Chains A and B, each alone.
Chain A
């Protein structure tokens, strides 16, 4: 145990041999989250309604504004912010709704400026939702009745999902990138020679490095978790369980980093392999939304990565609802980690202990 403690202490001290890589690998996901959080689409947005001069059209305009104010999520606050604007029928900057006479009947007409089709869709949906409310209010039981049932128990902003799905990425990036650079550096410095003849058991040496990489990974995830929590007041139900979910991921990433270092023996290529595999895995693995929401093809590929399984296991801690099969996901993560540990031991023996 004392030897392991000493190995771990030495591994931590190797921080000094790659300070910039440590800073990038540990802090980059949080920096990325903070940047993304400022530009992420917020569901509340402004809808311009042209002010009418009065009369019947003016009354209908006010009714439309009131209906727009009620449009929202069944588990959250209304998310449309109608703004009355003066509009003379000229050029439209983004969008404006005007109540006009069409064939002797009043009609809400939506005019668009130079905006993309996604924004058109969003404006149209909000107008449709408001119109349905007016229709229901007018015709009661004879109308199309819209009943909304929430799947989630509470409303959680998308910023939180993005942060939650970034936790596995933060874990993976730190362990993989630091592991890759530290291991490749041993070849560049020649210090790998120290390991070649070391009588200390191979298992203990590798365990020392993996535990240290796992600690770096959990530190990175912890910083991100704190940022997500402070920014959104969204905290996981059980932080220790979150750590436990991320642990196999950190072992996997550590193994991947060590493998990259052992096979490439140069720190920059090994770092790039760790970086690219982390980002590709994260993008394929439920990074921007649950895999099930993106079609069967994506979901199948996504489930090959550990990120989707980790995101689905983390989901209940932020949203209070279970997705996927937690037991299967946990098993997949443990098996993936175990498989990579075995592979790392074999490659380590081949690359370091046996030269020929």
Chain B
């Protein structure tokens, strides 16, 4: 994730001016990073719009819709019944042209795509063709924002558990290198080849279909419990299966990677030195293994998050979890173009935010990160 603006040098900072304090460094770094990130997001979203419009597909859909609606409304209007066919046809044509003008469809594609970009950037995502938000709105933005908390809940819980769990387990395993559990982890690490939804199928089969102890899917029971405590517990119960399927699908590989990583680092000279000094194992782990490897750990976590963000689409659909992914799935089924394009844009934003936040944390924990220096060319 290190871009050209970030220079990694081994040399310690010379002077202790404001620019060299942690706060100053991080602030400067974040501003530069934020700017590059914004440019990246703009280009990314513009590409998304180009892909969605390739061959003028979206325009065709919009034109057809205008034609249908206008023709219908004029034919259904009793005020126009007396007019002869020719006048009516002309009236329809005029109305269609007006409507296309209003939506900017008469302008060249480049101009329109810039308009789309402007709208997309401020999350003005247009109106859905078929779908509704729970509050009854047709605004794509409202539909998607309404689903965002569910996705964040699922992603947050599963990712945090996965991350801290696997780092903790890996530290333990690297201490007992070659033990039985170590070998089990190595043997099981290829299971991470399968995506979460795949394990979801098996979990549903075992815990919902056969043992009937956990629900098949959804966010809460219907009708939902009245008290807020009961509601929370109910959501937690529904969260168990989707979260476990996400965790299972990457747990073993992630533990294996961390374990290998820690093993390589624990054979460094300074760790041997610390051991020779007789420092307790906990101190060695925290100060001599974890601290210097923290930037790498965070980078890997970010990459994990990025690959998993969009991977939730199917997991959510399998578990009927009312998040962004399931909305996208429903939109595909209904052919609801604005919602599909809108979700893609929201995903692009989420990815950008993830990349930015983790870069920010990276700068906080890695004292070697400097901003504005020339890269090694």
**A, B in one complex:** no
The interface of chain A, by Cβ under 8 A from chain B, is none
